Structure 1
Amino acid sequence: MSNIWDIVVSSTCACAVCILIAEILRLIVNHSIEKWRKDPRSPAFLADLSEIFDSAISAFTYVASTFEKGLLLTVGLRSGFFLVSFILGVVFCYTSSNSDPTPIYPLVKYWRTIRLGIHETNHPSTLKRGFVTSAIRSTVTYFKLGWRSLLGQAVGLFVAISWSKYFWDGWLTSHHVNQLARLDECSDCQNTAIFLAFLIETGITYIFFVAFGFIDEMFGPRGGDSNPMRSDLMCNVLKNLVALLSMHFFLDVTGSFANPYLAYAIQRHCIVDVTRAAIFTFVYVIGPFLGTIVYLLRPITWETPKTKRSV
Structure 2
Amino acid sequence: MGLFDKLKKKKLETGLEKTRTGFFQSIVNTLTNSQIDDDLYNDLEEQLILADVGPSCAVRLVDELRDTVERDHLKTGEEALKALREIIRREISPTTDMDLSGSPAVILVVGVNGVGKTTTIAKLAALYKDLGKKVMLAAGDTFRAAASEQLETWADRAGVPLVKAGEGADPAAVIFDAVQSARARGYDMVIADTAGRLHNKKGLMDELSKISRSVRKASPEASLEVLLVLDAITGQNAISQAQEFCRAAGATGVVLTKLDGTPKGGCVIGVHEKLGLPIRFVGVGEQIDDLLFFSATDFAEALLPEVPRRDAPEAAQEGEV
TM-score calculated relative to the size of structure 2: 0.23
Please tell me whether Structure 1 or Structure 2 has the larger radius of gyration of its CA atoms. 2
Judging by fraction of residues, say which structure has more strand. 2
TM-score calculated relative to the size of structure 1: 0.24
